[in-house]
Amino acid sequence: MARIAIIGGGSAYMPGLAFSFARESPRFAGSTLVLHDIDPDALDVQSRLTGSILRAHAAAPLEVTSTGDLQRALDGADFVLTSFRPGGLEARHRDESIPPEYGVVGQETTGPGGLAMAMRSIPAVLEIAAGMRRGAAAGALLLNYTNPVQLVTDALVRHGGVNAIGLCDQHGGEIAFLAGLLGADPHDMETDIWGTNHLTWTCAVRVRGEDVTGLVFELLEALDPADVDSDYWVPVVRLFPLYGLIPSRYLGYYAMHDEMLERYRRSGRTRAQEIMAELPPILASYREQADSDDPRPLGGRFSAEHGDFAVGVMAAVLSGEPRRFVLNVPNRGAIDGLPDDAIVEVPCTLRGLDIERHRMGPMPEQVAGLVLQLTAHARLASEAAVTGDRQLALRALMAHPLVNDITAAEEMLDRLIPDAAPA
């Protein structure tokens, strides 16, 4: 049995977690989910919907409670899952709309937008860590989904004083994309991935233990980007020949920067605005299904990948049985050439709370410099968020490869992070 606090329990992502807990309910029999959110209406809907999903689909009983009191949610918790967006979609819109005015792509985890989000997210997550130190169970684990994951995890490791792991489900989506190319079941696949969050490359692919990397490389080499069904995955296909490795789709913001910026300008709206336009029917379905005997809420803002990943990590920690995951953790020798305390995204084997990083060796020359630069940016950015120091924030912004003009950087800081303290 475990007590699991979900901070951001009113989020539109919550149904995915609820369905995942239902699927894994025998591993959590008798456990309690404590949902916390600062929006009481959203919290009420998700608490009722989660209970309905568990009653309809869980094979073993789990209790659901909710509270708007953060410390009450954290008291006695064995696991704390952070999955929230400080400032909401309105703040995300600012993060995404201001940088393009200065010729820099706007994205919630990359460049100026990522720094602005970190300045909001890190103090909030560190407050949660402080609450854990006051009242959580001994050895409690914080699983952080809150973006930008690399920067938040860096701050947690340095300043949080709790056990913490960074989670990102991007690799799950990439496995699903590669599975489509192969005609394979994603559940039969695993990949070797390395880099830092949202700046990763896949160097090996296996199906049921068989190495199919060469076949995947051949398929990507032969695929025309124009034939890719979704713009979402075009950067993977377009950039594969450049790197000789399978890039994260986020590499498009670096190696296809001007094209991505022009795509935004043509669209006339940010991704935040797109989500805000999609949300009303989704949220309405949550309310309509909250007390259903067989809830079927609309998808679009939750996924099995997101929920199964977090729930799978908790289940592995509880069981103590070794299980492989791709995690965001301090490097400690996993990737040669990076500082030991840099946050990297690499395969790991969990044995309870023990994390065994898989040794990945040195990164190829064509990617090593970019990764090293982003680890320096992450360090400066996390320290700026902890201290609120504007000069540190400026250094962090100028350390990012997408920003190369100090006047533009200063103006973006004034607009994105107006409350940063002067040096």
Cα-based angle 110, 115, 119 (whole degrees, multiple of 5): 145
How many Å apart are CA 337 and CA 305, to the nearest integer? 31
Q: In this prediction, what percent of the chain has a pLDDT beyond 70? A: 99
Instruction: Report CA torsion sign: 322, 324, 325, 330.
Output: positive
Question: Whose CA is closest to 301, among 42, 56, 62, 110?
Answer: 42
CA of 157: how far to CAs of 83, 122, 143, 345, 414, in Å?
A: 17, 11, 12, 14, 28
- Segment 383-398 shows an average pLDDT of 96
Q: Which residue ranges form the domains of the chain, and what is each CATH number? A: 3-168 (3.40.50.720)
Question: What number of other Cβ atoms are within 10 A of residue 48's Cβ?
Answer: 19
pLDDT of residue 353: 95
pLDDT of residue 422: 63
Quickly list H helices, 158-256: 170-182, 213-222, 234-243, 252-255
pLDDT of residue 418: 86
Compute the half-sphere exposure of residue 169: CA atoms within 13 Å on the CB side of its CA: 21
DSSP-assigned beta bridge partners for residue 247 = 201
Residue holding tokens 């690799």? Answer: 171
Helix (H) or strand (E) holding 350: strand 343-351
pTM: 0.95
Question: Whose CA is closest to 112, among 131, 126, 92?
Answer: 92
Compute the half-sphere exposure of residue 411: CA atoms within 13 Å on the CB side of its CA: 13
Write the pLDDT tens digit of every residue in 73-114. 999 999 999 999 999 999 999 999 999 999 999 999 999 999
Q: In this prediction, what percent of the chain has a pLDDT beyond 90? A: 95
Examine the pLDDT at 223 and tell me if it is beyond 90.
yes
How many Å apart are CA 239 and CA 248, to the nearest integer? 9
Three-state secondary-structure class, residue 192: strand
- Segment 202-208 shows an average pLDDT of 97
pLDDT band at 421; cut points 50, 70, 90: low
